[in-house]
C-alpha cells in the first residue's frame, strides 16, 4: 500500500483509537475499500465544481405516476424538465426505513422496494451527479443490526452506543425534546441505548472500530452504484462521551477525515458534504484544513435571508456575509434556502437577538408555519426549527402581514442564493413554489410534513403548463435565472466575493471571476418600496461595457441611477 496513504490513515486512527493496533485497522479499512497498494493520492485543493453546477434536492417519491416506481418517474421528470438546469440530484434516503421519512434506515445496502431498485438509482446516476445520504449517526431500532444487539450476537452486538442513567449527561447538546436514553430489553438484561433523535433512531457506536469498517464497506458499495456526492447526515453527533456536550468532539472530526481519505482515494472526483445544523462558527470548523468536508451547508443563509425579506432590513444578512471566510480551493459552501427539514434556528445564534428571533417565529406562524423545539442542557425547550414551505414563508412582511409581493419576494430570495459564493441547491418544492401542505402534516402528525408534499406527475405537468399558475411563473423564472447564472465565470463557487454597503434596503455584493475577466455587481431590493442606486456608489469602470444580465439591458449612463422595483434584482456585468 502507499506509504503516504498508510501513514496518514494510521495517524488519524491513532487519534480515535489510541489503544488499538492502528496499523492492522488501517490495513483492514484499505482492504475493505478495495484500494490497491499503488493507489495514487488525489490532486490537492482541486475543485470538483464550476459555475454550471446546480443541485436539486428531492425525495425518491416526490413525483409519482400510477403503476410506475417513483424512481423511474423521477428520472423521467428530471430528464424532461430539468436536464438543462441542474447538474446534480440529491435523492433523500431511498433505503428501507421505519420512521422519519427515510432517516431511520433499516438496511443501508437495499433500495426501498416501493421506490424502485438499484438499477433505477444507477440510471439517474448516469444522467446526473448523484448525491446520497450516509445516515451515519444512527440506525433504525427495527434493523437487523439492532435485533442482533438485543439478541447479543454479531453483527450488531456492540454496534450501538450505550449509556447509563447514572452518567452525568447534563452537558449533552440535544436537537430534540425526547429522552436521550431508551431502555431496551436484551438477552442479557436491560440496557440503555443513546438516541439523539428518537427512540426509533439508535445511535451507532463508533468507539467499536468494526462499525467504521462496516461503513467503509457501505461507502464502497455506494460508489460502485454511482454515488459521487456523500452527505454525512447528523455527523456532528457521531462521537459521544458522558460528561461532555457530545457534539463536535475531536474524534468526530478525525472520523470525517478518515472517510474523506478513503473516499477520495477510491474516487478522486467524489465529494463529501457535512450536514451540521449548528451555529455558524461551529459549522465552519467542518472544513478542517481542507481535509474534512469538501462542502459545508450554509445553514445560516435560510433564516437570515427570510428574516431580511420579511423585515425589509438586510443589516444582519450583510454582517453575516462580511464575516464569512472565503472557502479555500478544494472547498466551498452549499447554498440553500429551503430543504426537506425546517428552517433551522440554531444557526441564528449570535446573529439575531432573542427579540428578533421571536418576531421571526411569530411572523412565520402567522403565515401558517409551525415551530419545533429542542431541549437545552438546563432543561429548557428552545425553538429548533420553523416548519414552513418557503413560498408561504415569504407571503408578506412582519409589519404588514400578507401582501401581493409574494412571488416577487420568492424570486428575489433565489436570485440572492444563485449569485452567492458557493453551489446553489434547490429543494424541489421551492423550485415549484409549493405552498404549505397542512393536510399532509395533519395526516402524518409530523410538523416537517408541511413541506414534504407529493405530486402526481400529471397534476404537476398541468400546473407547469398553465401560464397563470404561480407554480409555472416561479418555475419558468427560476429556470431562466439558472440558465443565466451557469454562463457566468464570476459565479464560480470559489470566485471572489465582497459585500457592498448600500444601506439597509439594498443587499449587494460583488463577484469577480478567478481569471478576473468578469465582474458582476449583484444588487437586490429587499423591501416593498422603490429603491434607487447611484451607479457612482458601486464604482463601475467607465471603460467597460455594462449590462444587467437579468433584464438584458445595457447600462449607458454610469453617472446616473437605476431604480429597483420592490424585490427586484440586478446582476450588473462587464461582459454579456
Write out pLDDT tens, residues 131-146: 999 999 999 999 999 9
Write out pLDDT tens, residues 300-313: 999 999 999 999 99
- Cβ proximity of 549 and 484 under 8 Å: yes
Say what the pLDDT of residue 379 is.
86
* Pairwise CA distance, residues 366 & 387, whole Å: 12
Encode burial over 449-465: b for 16+ CB neighbours within 10 A, e otherwise.
Answer: bbbbbebebeebeebbe
Encode burial over 195-225: b for 16+ CB neighbours within 10 A, e otherwise.
Answer: bbbbebbbbbbbebbbbbbbbbebbbebbeb
Distances (CA, A) of 26 to 160, 292, 418: 22, 18, 41
- Cβ proximity of 192 and 163 under 8 Å: yes
| Percent over 90 (pLDDT), the chain | 93
- Cβ proximity of 78 and 460 under 8 Å: no
At a CB cut-off of 8 Å and minimum separation 6, what does 260 contact? 272, 291, 292, 293, 294
At a CB cut-off of 8 Å and minimum separation 6, what does 193 contact? 149, 160, 161, 162, 163, 181, 182, 184, 202, 203
* Pairwise CA distance, residues 382 & 466, whole Å: 43
Helix (H, G, I), strand (E, B) or coil at 235: helix
What one-character-per-residue DSSP string does 68-85 give? S-HHHHHHHHIIIIITTT
Instruction: Please give the distance of CA 356 from its chain centroid, rounded to a whole number.
Output: 24
Give, for 32, the enclosing helix (H) or strand (E): helix 22-33
Q: Is residue 326 part of a domain?
A: no
Q: Is residue 164 part of a domain?
A: no
Q: Is residue 336 part of a domain?
A: no
Grid coordinates of 555? 447600462
Instruction: Look up 66 and say whether it is catalytic.
Output: no
* Pairwise CA distance, residues 425 & 337, whole Å: 8
Write out pLDDT tens, residues 473-496: 999 999 999 999 999 999 999 999
Write out pLDDT tens, residues 268-301: 999 999 999 999 999 999 999 999 999 999 999 9
Grid coordinates of 346? 440554531
| Bond prior to 155 in cis (omega within 30° of 0) | yes
Verdict on whether the full-model pTM lies above 0.85 = yes
Is beta strand 295-297 parallel, antiparallel or unpaired with respect to 381-387?
unpaired
Is beta strand 396-397 parallel, antiparallel or unpaired with respect to 401-402?
antiparallel
Say what the pLDDT of residue 37 is.
60
- Cβ proximity of 301 and 337 under 8 Å: yes
Write out pLDDT tens, residues 13-34: 999 999 999 999 999 999 999 9
Mean pLDDT of 148-158: 98
Q: Is residue 487 part of a domain?
A: no
Average pLDDT of the chain is: 96
Q: Is residue 534 part of a domain?
A: yes
User: Maximum Cα–Cα distance for the chain, whole Å?
Assistant: 82
Q: Is residue 536 part of a domain?
A: yes
Instruction: Please give the distance of CA 112 from its chain centroid, rounded to a whole number.
Output: 22
Write out pLDDT tens, residues 506-527: 999 999 999 999 999 999 999 9
Asked if residue 163 has pLDDT above 50, the reply is yes
Instruction: Please give the distance of CA 38 from its chain centroid, rounded to a whole number.
Output: 35
* Pairwise CA distance, residues 88 & 536, whole Å: 39
| 503: CATH | 2.60.40.1180
Asked if residue 1 has pLDDT above 90, the reply is no
Active-site residue, selected from the candidate residues 133, 233, 341, 528:
233
Give, for 442, the enclosing helix (H) or strand (E): helix 438-444
Q: Is residue 539 part of a domain?
A: yes
Mean pLDDT of 527-545: 91
Number of domains in the chain: 1
| Percent over 70 (pLDDT), the chain | 99
Asked if residue 53 has pLDDT above 80, the reply is yes
First to last CA, the chain: 50
Structural domain that includes position 520: 496-573
Q: Is residue 518 part of a domain?
A: yes
- Cβ proximity of 99 and 58 under 8 Å: no
At a CB cut-off of 8 Å and minimum separation 6, what does 64 contact? 70, 73, 454, 455, 456, 457
Amino acid at each position: 500500500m502507499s506509504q503516504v496513504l498508510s501513514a496518514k490513515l494510521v495517524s488519524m486512527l491513532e487519534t480515535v483509537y489510541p489503544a488499538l493496533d492502528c496499523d492492522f485497522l488501517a490495513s483492514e479499512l484499505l482492504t475493505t475499500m478495495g484500494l490497491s497498494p499503488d493507489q495514487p493520492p488525489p490532486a490537492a485543493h482541486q475543485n470538483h465544481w464550476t459555475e454550471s453546477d446546480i443541485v436539486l434536492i428531492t425525495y425518491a417519491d416526490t413525483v409519482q405516476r400510477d403503476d410506475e416506481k417513483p424512481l423511474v418517474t423521477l428520472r423521467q421528470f428530471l430528464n424532461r424538465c430539468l436536464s438543462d438546469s441542474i447538474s446534480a440530484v440529491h435523492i433523500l434516503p431511498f433505503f428501507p426505513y421505519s420512521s422519519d421519512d427515510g432517516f431511520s434506515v433499516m438496511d443501508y445496502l437495499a433500495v426501498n422496494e416501493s421506490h424502485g431498485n438499484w438499477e433505477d438509482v444507477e440510471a439517474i446516476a448516469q444522467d446526473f451527479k448523484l448525491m446520497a445520504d450516509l445516515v451515519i449517526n444512527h440506525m433504525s431500532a427495527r434493523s437487523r443490526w439492532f435485533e442482533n444487539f438485543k439478541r447479543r450476537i454479531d453483527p450488531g452486538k456492540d454496534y450501538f452506543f450505550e449509556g447509563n442513567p447514572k452518567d452525568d449527561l447534563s452537558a449533552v447538546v440535544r436537537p430534540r425534546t425526547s429522552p436521550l436514553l431508551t431502555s431496551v430489553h436484551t438477552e442479557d438484561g436491560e440496557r440503555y441505548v443513546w438516541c439523539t433523535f428518537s427512540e426509533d433512531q439508535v445511535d451507532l457506536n463508533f468507539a467499536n472500530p468494526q462499525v467504521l469498517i462496516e461503513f467503509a464497506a457501505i461507502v464502497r458499495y455506494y460508489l460502485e452504484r454511482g454515488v459521487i456526492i456523500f452527505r454525512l447526515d447528523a455527523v456532528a453527533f457521531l462521537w459521544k462521551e458522558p460528561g461532555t456536550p457530545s457534539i463536535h468532539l475531536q474524534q468526530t472530526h478525525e472520523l470525517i477525515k478518515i472517510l474523506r481519505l478513503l473516499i477520495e482515494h477510491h474516487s478522486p472526483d467524489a465529494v463529501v458534504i457535512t450536514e451540521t445544523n449548528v451555529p455558524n462558527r461551529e459549522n465552519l470548523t467542518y472544513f478542517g484544513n481542507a481535509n474534512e468536508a469538501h462542502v459545508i451547508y450554509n445553514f445560516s443563509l435560510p433564516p437570515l435571508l427570510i428574516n431580511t425579506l420579511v423585515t425589509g432590513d438586510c443589516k444582519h444578512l450583510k454582517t453575516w456575509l462580511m464575516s464569512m471566510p472565503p472557502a479555500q480551493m478544494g472547498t466551498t459552501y452549499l447554498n440553500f434556502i429551503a430543504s426537506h427539514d425546517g428552517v433551522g434556528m440554531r444557526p441564528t445564534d449570535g446573529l439575531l437577538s432573542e427579540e428578533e428571533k421571536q418576531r421571526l417565529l411569530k411572523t412565520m406562524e402567522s403565515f401558517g408555519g409551525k415551530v419545533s423545539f429542542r431541549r437545552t442542557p438546563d432543561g429548557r425547550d428552545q425553538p429548533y426549527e420553523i416548519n414552513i414551505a418557503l413560498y408561504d414563508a415569504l407571503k408578506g412582511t412582519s409589519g404588514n402581514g400578507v401582501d401581493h409581493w409574494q412571488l416577487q419576494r420568492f424570486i428575489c430570495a433565489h436570485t440572492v442564493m444563485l449569485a452567492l459564493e458557493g453551489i446553489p441547491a434547490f429543494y424541489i418544492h421551492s423550485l415549484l413554489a409549493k405552498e404549505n401542505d397542512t393536510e399532509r402534516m395533519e395526516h402524518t402528525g409530523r410538523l416537517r410534513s408541511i413541506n414534504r408534499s407529493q405530486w402526481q406527475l400529471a397534476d404537476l405537468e398541468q400546473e407547469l403548463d398553465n401560464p397563470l399558475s404561480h407554480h409555472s411563473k416561479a418555475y419558468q423564472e427560476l429556470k431562466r435565472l439558472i440558465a443565466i447564472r451557469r454562463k457566468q465565470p464570476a459565479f464560480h463557487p470559489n470566485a471572489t466575493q465582497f459585500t457592498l454597503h448600500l444601506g439597509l434596503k439594498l443587499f449587494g455584493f460583488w463577484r469577480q471571476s478567478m481569471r478576473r475577466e468578469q465582474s458582476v455587481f449583484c444588487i437586490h431590493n429587499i423591501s416593498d418600496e422603490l429603491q434607487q442606486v447611484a451607479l457612482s456608489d458601486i464604482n463601475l469602470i467607465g471603460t467597460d461595457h455594462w449590462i444587467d444580465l437579468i433584464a438584458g439591458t445595457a447600462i449607458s449612463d454610469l453617472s446616473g441611477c437605476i431604480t429597483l422595483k420592490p424585490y427586484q434584482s440586478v446582476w450588473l456585468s462587464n461582459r454579456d
